[in-house]
Amino acid sequence: MIHENGGPEVMRLDEIAVPDPGPGELLVEVVAAGVNFIDTYLRSGLYPTPLPFTLGKEGAGRVLAAGDGVDGVAEGDLVAWSMGDGAYAEHAIVPARLVVRVPDGVDPQLAAAVMLQGMTAHFLSTSIVPLEEGDTALVHAGAGGVGLLLTRMLVRRGVRVLTTAGSSEKAELSRGAGAAEVLDYDDFATAARDLTDGRGVRIVFDGVGAATFDSGLDALQPRGMFVLFGAASGPVPPFDPQVLNAKGSLMLTRPSLGHFIADRAELEQRAGEVLGAVAEGWLDVRIGATYPLADAAVAHEDLEGRRTTGKLLLLP
């Protein structure tokens, strides 16, 4: 639980009574909770949240009880969710409108690992611009949780994917996901232009933020799209929109998952396609590391230190 904002050291393990679900809510015994950069933003205060609170936007587990007015989910069901609160716990209260049933044959740890990052990769690859076979995309942090999933989804659509990675090990993981080329961060814009005959890429997917933003604009072709979906290296400072004009009438968007699953039907469709792809076996989910709940601070240190690949999970 977080009682004050700050570094990983402010996280502490508290013991509280198991709550009862209210109307429209579920009490879930958590099997696994996903660790995401949004958790670090909430912990640090970058995203202000009333204190105290329990971290954890994503998880999977068994339904123990349902509050009044809940339909379609019953005690004993295995469910997964994203954009909730309080998953860093043995038991969580989750709004029923956020959960989906986990398909038979999908391990609950994989379900917890793929909800937030998998649906993020899904909307990035399908709902931002109509990418066509033969387009070239640049995906930053290609060996990260979103990067690996997004690369696989784009390649399946026929998109040529260039990625960045910070080590030879990460580069190899990115190639394994289908990246055509893996670039160094130092001069990725020049390399991206060289690999597109000087034109630039159609779209840049950037979850890194401040460290890659300016050069990412230089990697785009005229009328290209810059998709800023995270800030692992820190938030992008304010800039003059005229820069977008000068660099070729570029487009910039700052999307977040919540706006792409706000409608229940869209949530079910998006989660169904992601979990279905896991069940079918073509969407490989890499769990980079698991930690006991008491080591949540260590997981945050590893994530923020860029020492990880794939998905991190807490196991209560």
CATH code for the domain in which residue 241 is found:
3.40.50.720
Based on the domain organization, do 50 and 104 belong to the same domain?
A: yes
Based on the domain organization, do 219 and 277 belong to the same domain?
A: no
Cα separation values, 134 from 137, 156, 159, 168, Å: 10, 11, 5, 27
Based on the domain organization, do 271 and 294 belong to the same domain?
A: yes
Please give the residue range of the domain that contains residue 57: 8-118+261-315
Based on the domain organization, do 69 and 147 belong to the same domain?
A: no
Q: Give the percent of the chain with pLDDT over 70.
A: 100
The pair of three-digit structure tokens given for residue 40, joined into one six-digit string: 């670090």
Q: Which of 134, 98, 94, 110 is CA-nearest to residue 34?
A: 110
Res 306: pLDDT: 84
Domain membership flag for residue 2: no
Res 162: pLDDT: 98
Res 309: pLDDT: 86
Domain membership flag for residue 66: yes
- Interior/surface letters 197-210, b for 16+ CB within 10 angstroms, e for the rest: eeebbbbbbbbbbe
What total of structural domains would you count in the chain?
2
Based on the domain organization, do 157 and 265 belong to the same domain?
A: no
Res 316: pLDDT: 94
Based on the domain organization, do 134 and 232 belong to the same domain?
A: yes
pTM for the full model?
0.92
| In contact, 119 and 266? CB cutoff 8 Å | no
Kindly give the pairing relationship between strand 220-228 and strand 251-253: parallel
CA dihedral 219, 220, 225, 227 (to 10 degrees): 0
Q: Give the mean model confidence (pLDDT) for residues 184-191.
A: 97
Based on the domain organization, do 112 and 177 belong to the same domain?
A: no
Q: Give the mean model confidence (pLDDT) for residues 269-282.
A: 96
Domain membership flag for residue 162: yes
Q: Which of 254, 289, 306 is the last residue of a domain?
A: 254
The residue that leads in pLDDT, 308 or 295, is 295
* Confidence class for position 133, pLDDT limits 50, 70, 90: very high
| pLDDT tops 90 at residue 188 | yes
Domain membership flag for residue 3: no
Q: What is the pLDDT of residues 60-79, one digit of tens each?
A: 999 999 999 999 999 999 99
Cα 221 to Cα 101: distance, rounded to the nearest angstrom: 41
Q: Give the mean model confidence (pLDDT) for residues 94-100.
A: 97
Mean pLDDT score of the chain, rounded to an integer?
96
Res 151: pLDDT: 98
Based on the domain organization, do 270 and 244 belong to the same domain?
A: no
Type of residue at 50: P
Domain membership flag for residue 304: yes
Q: What is the pLDDT of residues 8-17, one digit of tens each?
A: 999 999 999 9
Q: Which of 235, 254, 273 is the last residue of a domain?
A: 254
Q: Which of 239, 254, 269 is the last residue of a domain?
A: 254
Cα 145 to Cα 113: distance, rounded to the nearest angstrom: 9
Domain membership flag for residue 124: no
Contacts of 58 (CB under 8 A, 6+ apart): 33, 34, 36, 80, 81, 82, 83, 84, 87, 112, 115, 116
Q: What is the pLDDT of residues 225-262, one digit of tens each?
A: 999 999 989 999 999 999 999 999 999 999 999 999 99
